[in-house]
């Protein structure tokens, strides 16, 4: 997407892959750069994504338009401690 938009947001390890603009709101589609995550329980690092569901997060308005981030909410399965966790 736009390098300047990624820098302007200042969020580490994400990029804005696309966006949708309607009359009253803007949705920025966020892509996570890290594929591996650490388990909350045992601190084991895994890339075993069980499911991935996008969620919308409301941000501050820009020029009178509501802004939302569409962020992937990943649920992982830790093979080490055998627990499911949402990220």
Question: What pLDDT, on a 0 to 100 scale, did the predictor assign at position 70?
Answer: 93
Tokens of 37: 């995550």
Question: For the chain, what is the domain count?
Answer: 1
**What is the span of the domain harbouring residue 82?**
3-86
Shortest CA distance to 69 belongs to which of 24, 23, 9, 1? 9
Are residues 87 and 37 in contact, defined by beta-carbon separation less than 8 angstroms? yes
E strand map for the chain? 14-21, 25-32, 37-38, 45-46, 49-62, 65-78, 83-86
> What are the pLDDT digits (tens) for 50-78?
788 899 989 888 888 899 999 988 888 88
Residue-wise pLDDT tens digits, 17-35: 888 888 889 998 888 887 7
Residue 14 has pLDDT above 60, yes or no: yes
Q: CA 75 to CA 87: how far, in whole Å?
A: 6
């Amino acid at each position: 997407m736009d390098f300047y938009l990624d820098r302007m947001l200042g969020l580490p390890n994400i990029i804005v892959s696309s966006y949708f603009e309607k009359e009253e709101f803007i949705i920025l589609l966020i892509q996570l750069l890290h594929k591996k995550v650490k388990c909350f329980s045992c601190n084991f690092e895994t890339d075993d994504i069980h499911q991935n569901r996008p969620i919308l997060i409301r941000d501050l308005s820009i020029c009178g338009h509501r802004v939302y981030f569409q962020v992937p909410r990943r649920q992982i399965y830790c093979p080490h401690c055998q627990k499911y966790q949402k990220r």
